Amino acid sequence: MWLVLLLKQAGKLRGDFSARLTWQGPTGSLTATISDLSELKIIREIFYGAEYVVPQDLDPEVIVDLGSNAGFSVLFFKALFPRARVVAVEPHPGTFERLRRNTAHLEGVDLINAAVTDHDGETTLYFGSESWGASLAAAADRQGATVVPAVTLAHLAEQLDLPKIDVLKLDIEGAEHQVLTSSAPVLARTQWLVFEYHQELNRDPLWTLLDRLEDFRLVRFKRDSREHPLVTLERAPATR
């Protein structure tokens, strides 16, 4: 498996090569299809790096997962909170198909093939050899591009009839600032925010964004790298 994924990443293999991986999740073994080495890194970060830790006594009813990739975060949330409704949003068409396959056995999962941004309609998604790098921002290592549906968080919540969101998770490769600063009505109905901030793809520093999210308090700051801190925010008690 490693050799195939390494050769694929190096551009030595053409075609849709994938592998089936089984690992230990928080409540038992999990299995999913992966297609490149970045997806192994995602699994490590989520399940062994504890990226998306929220209180296990939270008992959320609705989790919105923006940037679901191939579904590993969905598997994590459903393992911890099997009764929760999970809305999984992934813009890249090929990655979305793996998301569909990897979560087909789960109940209470809504799959949305779109990019959440600050407007409805269409947008251009840029991508490279690793699925975790797909972004609305062009870059030298993203040689591919495709037009995908675009939707605002407010429109998404209206379409899916989400009167509240218990956990909103974002890993959307640089679009987090524009989504969070254009979604005030939805954030007013959100209890927890967990997101990775891509500093190199955002105009303002993380702390400027956090100042604008004044109804939330910082619970956790995790710096995996200087450019990609991960933050967890809880709605401040006075605003509940």
CA dist 79 to 11, 21, 75, 82, 215, Å? Answer: 35, 17, 6, 6, 29
Three-class secondary structure of residue 145 per DSSP? strand
Question: What confidence tens digit (pLDDT) does each residue in 129-140 have?
Answer: 888 889 988 888
DSSP β-ladder status, 28-34 and 62-66: unpaired
Nearest to 197 by CA among 162, 173, 221, 178: 173
Residue, of 3 and 91, whose pLDDT is higher: 91
Average pLDDT estimate for 162-174 = 94
Contact criterion met (CB below 8 Å) for 152 and 117: yes
CATH class of 49-239: alpha beta
What is the four-CA torsion angle of 22, 74, 201, 92, rounded to 10 degrees? 80
The H-or-E segment that residue 178 falls in is helix 176-180
Three-class secondary structure of residue 67 per DSSP? coil
* pLDDT given at position 198: 87
Three-class secondary structure of residue 236 per DSSP? coil
- C-alpha span between 83 and 183 (Å, rounded): 26
- C-alpha span between 137 and 66 (Å, rounded): 16
* pLDDT given at position 164: 96
- C-alpha span between 237 and 227 (Å, rounded): 30
For tokens 């779109």, the residue is: 114
What's phi and psi for 145, nearest 5 deg?
-150, 145
Contact criterion met (CB below 8 Å) for 225 and 198: no
Count each helix (H run) and each strand (E run) in the chain, helices first.
Answer: 8, 12
Question: What confidence tens digit (pLDDT) does each residue in 220-238 have?
Answer: 998 766 678 899 999 998 7
Question: What confidence tens digit (pLDDT) does each residue in 144-166 have?
Answer: 899 999 999 999 999 999 999 99
Query: Residue 210 corresponds to which tokens in the numbers above?
Result: 């956090």
Contacts of 50 (CB under 8 A, 6+ apart): none
- C-alpha span between 220 and 224 (Å, rounded): 13
* pLDDT given at position 203: 78
Question: What confidence tens digit (pLDDT) does each residue in 66-123 have?
Answer: 999 999 999 999 999 999 999 999 999 999 999 999 999 999 999 999 999 999 999 9
* pLDDT given at position 202: 76
